[in-house]
Every structure is written in structure tokens, then in C-alpha cells.
Amino acid sequence: MTRLGTIGSGVRQVIVDSPHSMGARARIRRWETVARKFPKLRSMSVIDLGGTVETWLRAPIRPRRVTVVNLNEAGRSADAGLVPVIGDACVAREVLSAAGIELKFDLVFSNSLIEHVGGHAMRSRLAEEIHMLAPRHWIQTPYRYFPIEPHWLFPLMQFLPLRARLPIAQRWPLAHTVTANRSEALGELMWTDLVGITQMKFYFPQSEILRERIMGMTKSTVAVLA
């Protein structure tokens, strides 16, 4: 890692990654809100779309059963109450049926997935899947109009032309994922499409839309149906 990369990694740790970072404190507040919105969470069967086993191993609240569906990195678990499944969340019912998992859930849980599934058509498909999977949901996503793009931690990056974003994605030291080459960086950019509140209301018209704030500004939105 270059000296600039080392500095960037340290700064990112302070801002979002370390247990004492601003991001960590925000995640604690998020779990507190989850517990408040779903007071019976410990007794629920939950399907997590796009999450990981590690998230639930660290979570302060553990549902009775969690099934994690992730396209690439669901993780591993020896716990019968925490089941990882590799597959596309947009066709979760098909994936789970193929894996022999019963389609009976109390809550769909998803953090920072809907902005990565591939545009409006696939977001609509994911929303339809969410509505079919369970009667309740918690769907969080970074807010498009927050001034710092959350994946690269670069000011207003989401509003730049793709060509202008590419060198940032390749070289900016605060990026969440270090890409190996130009093609990989371009792919990361094109798979990331932040959404706004109007879009969230369209995908989840019966839901309450919560705002997670930092310094008074909306950083993330959450569609909640309890």
C-alpha cells in the first residue's frame, strides 16, 4: 500500500470503520431504531437481503432465525439460526426455494443494497420481492443528496459525469474498496446508483420513510413497514 493509501485507510477508520468512528456510532443508533420499530425482533424469522453473517454476529439484537442472501459474500455460519445463502436478492424466493428453505419470514431486512442492484427496473423487482417475502420490512439506503458520496467518501461525487468519477474511483484513498484496474473501477461505479426519497416512496408506498441524519443533514433513508 502506498503512503497515501495508508493515510487514507487511517482516515477512513476514524470516519466510518473503527468501533469508535462516527460510522460506528451511527450504526448503534440504527440498531436502537430497529429495536424500537420491531420490539418483537428477537422472536422473528428475518431474511436479510444483501447482508452478511458477520453483521448479525456483531449485532446487539439477534432474531430467532436469520437467513442471509448475498450475491457474493454471505459468509459462513455454524449456527442453525443464522443461515447464509449465495444468490441474487432480486429473485430471492427462487434462490431460497432452490436451496430448500421455507419461504416464511416475519421481516425483510436490508442495508445498503437497493442502490447496487442495477437501475430502476431491478430496484422495482427487488421491491416487489421484498413485498412478497414478508409483511414487514426495514430497507435502508444512503441518501442521494447527502454531500459526501458514502462509498468513496468524496464530496458530490455522485453528481459528476462517469468519466470524471473514474479517476476518483481508481485513486481516491478513502474509497471503501480498492479496485485493481480501470475496468474494475468502472464496474464499481456503474453498479452504484444512489436513490432519493421520492424514489423510496415509489418503491415502498405504504412505508414510513425515516431519515438518518448527521449534523442535521439526511445521510440515509429507511423504508419501514412495521
Q: Do 41 and 35 touch, CB atoms closer than 8 A?
A: yes
Domains, the chain, with CATH or none: 3-150+194-225 (3.40.50.150)
DSSP letter at 101 equals: -
Chain segment 102-115, per-residue pLDDT in tens: 999 999 999 999 99
DSSP letter at 43 equals: G
Chain segment 35-70, per-residue pLDDT in tens: 999 999 999 999 999 999 999 999 999 999 999 999
Chain segment 172-215, per-residue pLDDT in tens: 999 887 888 999 999 999 999 999 999 999 999 999 999 999 99
Neighbours of 129 (CB within 10 A): 21
Residue 190 grid coordinates: 456503474
Neighbours of 192 (CB within 10 A): 18
Q: Give the closest residue to 46 by CA, choosing from 138, 124, 128.
A: 138
Q: Could you list the beta-strand ranges (E) of 64-216.
A: 65-70, 82-86, 107-111, 136-142, 148-149, 154-155, 208-214
First to last CA, the chain: 45
Average pLDDT value for the chain? 92
pLDDT at residue 7, as a whole number: 46
What proportion of the chain, given as a percentage, has pLDDT over 90?
Answer: 84
Contacts of 108 (CB under 8 A, 6+ apart): 46, 47, 49, 130, 133, 134, 136, 137, 138, 139
d(CA 203, CA 29): 25
